[in-house]
Amino acid sequence: MAEAKGTVHFNRFLDVSEEPGKLLQPIEGYQSLELVSLEEAIEPIIKFCPDVRRRAYIAKGNCDPPKDGLTQDESASIFLYTMEWAPRDQCLYVVLNSILRSKNRNRLITPWLLFMKLLLTALFNLRSCGMTVWRGVRLDLRKEYVVGKTYTWWGFSSCTESLHVLESESFLGQEEKRTMFSIECFNGKKIRSHSSLEEEDEILLLPGSQFIVK
């Protein structure tokens, strides 16, 4: 753990501290929904993310042709999830993860179910991988993660294959106070080929992933 001065860009790789630290009700309802196009899936969430229609157009244009056997809509749902825009509180991944981490998530998630169906279908269609991945936060969380205890992360958890990426100045840097998680995952999803930022080497862990601290 090191301390110094400096600022970095906040992003989805560094939001571990937003996890509620308690058990929540499972999300239900999306499993039985029909799979729809990206354009249809985002219609119910435009009021929460006003710029999402334009971002979805960009995402879909960047996923033609799609890779890894996904459909264009499936690939574009991942691409859209990885996009970041201002204002931050209207950015898709920020709003979605805040709902997934909320104690009222089953009441708030309804408009998001079509998009959740498309995104999770895309991720389930990618091969799962087991490897060491990295995630972090610009805080000292050692007291909140007790050795031997099991913890659940309720949002989508963005990790990177590369420790170098996490230690770059755009992420944690090497001189700020920070907590870095080295995670042995068994069902991570490599989304680099479908990400808006391929250089991040992103591995996405699904909502509800559990971890034992060692």
Using the predicted structure, report yes or no on whether residue 184 has a pLDDT greater than 60.
yes
Quote the pLDDT of residue 15.
Answer: 92
> What angle do the packed helices 52-61 and 72-82 form, to 10 degrees?
120
Q: Which two tokens stand for residue 116?
A: 């959740």
Q: Are 13 and 135 in contact (CB under 8 A)?
A: yes
Report the distance separating Cα 197 and Cα 202, nearest Å: 9
Backbone torsions φ then ψ of 148, nearest 5 degrees: 95, -15
Choose among 76, 71, 6: nearest CA to 42: 76
Supply the pTM of this predicted model.
0.91
Which segment of 74-83, 120-129, 166-175, 178-187 scores lowest on mean pLDDT? 166-175
* Domains of the chain, each with CATH number or no CATH: 12-212 (3.90.176.10)
- Residue type (1 letter), 92: L
Using the predicted structure, report yes or no on whether residue 137 has a pLDDT greater than 70.
yes
